[in-house]
Amino acid sequence: MTRKILIAGNWKMNGLLEDGVNLAKEVAAEVKKLGRPQCEFLVCPPFTLLYSVKKALRGAKVALGAQDAHFAVKGAHTGDISPAMLKDLGCSYVILGHSERRADHNESNELVAKKAVAAYENGLKTIICIGETEKQRDEGKTIDVCSKQILGSVPANADASNTVIAYEPVWAIGTGKTPTAKDVEEVHAAVRAVLAKKLGKSVANKMRILYGGSVKPANAKEFLSLPDVDGALIGGASLKAQDFMAIAKSVC
Ligand code: PGA
100 labelled catalytic = no
- Residue in 30, 40, 70, 98 annotated catalytic: 98
Tell me, what's the pLDDT at 35?
87
Domains annotated for the chain, with CATH where assigned, are 6-11+38-249 (3.20.20.70)
Residue of 94, 215, 223 to test ligand 1 pocket, by largest number of atoms within 8 Å of CB: 215
As a whole number of angstroms, the distance between CA 81 and CA 241 comes to: 27
Please tell me if the CB atom of residue 67 comes closer than 6 angstroms to any atom of ligand 1: no
Q: Which residues contact 74 (CB under 8 A, 6 or more apart)?
A: 82, 84
77 labelled catalytic = no
Residue nearest to atom 2 of ligand 1 (CA): 235
Find the 213 Cα to ligand 1 centroid distance in Å. 5
Instruction: Mark out the alpha helices in the chain (DSSP H runs).
Output: 17-33, 50-56, 83-88, 99-104, 109-121, 134-138, 142-153, 181-199, 201-206, 217-224, 241-249
Tell me, what's the pLDDT at 1?
62
Please tell me if the CB atom of residue 243 comes closer than 6 angstroms to any atom of ligand 1: no
Tell me, what's the pLDDT at 46?
98
pLDDT along the chain (252 residues), means of 10: 93 98 98 92 98 98 98 98 98 98 98 98 98 98 98 98 98 98 98 98 98 98 98 98 97 92
Find the 133 Cα to ligand 1 centroid distance in Å. 14
CA-99 nearest atom, ligand 1? 8
Residue of 42, 98, 168 to test ligand 1 pocket, by largest number of atoms within 8 Å of CB: 168
The DSSP bridge partners found for residue 211 are 167, 232
Find the 76 Cα to ligand 1 centroid distance in Å. 32
